Amino acid sequence: MSHYGQQPTAIEDEGSAIMREPATGAARAGLNIIMIGPPGAGKGTQSRALAAQLKIPYVPTGDLFRNEIAAGTPVGLEARRYMDRGDLVPDGTTIRMVLERLRQPDCRMGVVLDGFPRSVAQAEALDAAWAAVGQTVSVVLHMKARADVVLTRMSNRWVCPKDGAVYNKITKKPRLDNICDLCSTALVQRPDETSETQRVRLEVYDRDTAPILRFYEQRGLTRTIDAERSMAEVSSALQGAIEQLQRAP
């Protein structure tokens, strides 16, 4: 049954089937964290650090799509048409790709999701898929920041094309100008981060993604984090939210 009392959709049924396909090992409930916030709020940097601390996989939807694009797959070619103009990739394509990743053995003890779900349909499909294997959403961490703040951040964001590390010339400068600290590769700005595309992405977020907060708030799963603070303060707030969750009976 969907969140609104309707019969399961074809997308939900397909998601359940993907997650129920045979895989080795017994299913156990893990710490499943969803990160939600506008582009430029720092989800990628904070999600990666949180996943490393908790020793669970970090699954960024954007990177999954970029890998498909680099490989020239049909999914990648379809995704690129939407991503280059700042739009969301259609639900069916996104759900199939993410759920295939989530059914891998390393995700059974938990995961940090960055960029999924981005619509209520995706959230309902995720619920159905996890329910099929005895899993559920543990917490939704909402990184909140104003549009002017995230637009400034995005205009100064650079990424490493080799390892995906993210830098910002205001909040997280590399040790050497335009060089990745981890692998010494030259940093680049993503082609989907022009000023026009950034504004479109924020409009899409407000229109399509924000309703997910209501979806999860009704279940008491959402914790709001002030993402305009320093990286250290945001990291501390995120860790505090997880520690509170872990202490709960």
Residues annotated as catalytic are: 43, 118, 157, 190, 201
Angle, helix 195-204 to helix 147-155, in steps of 10 degrees: 140
Tokens 């205001």 belong to 170
- Angle, alpha carbons 159-165-169 (nearest 5°): 55
Is the bond leading into 117 cis (omega within 30 degrees of zero)? Answer: yes
Cβ–Cβ under 8 Å, residues 42 and 231: yes
Closest CA to 107 of 11, 29, 222, 164: 29
CB atoms inside a 10 Å sphere around CB 1: 11
End-to-end distance of the chain based on CA atoms, in angstroms? 27
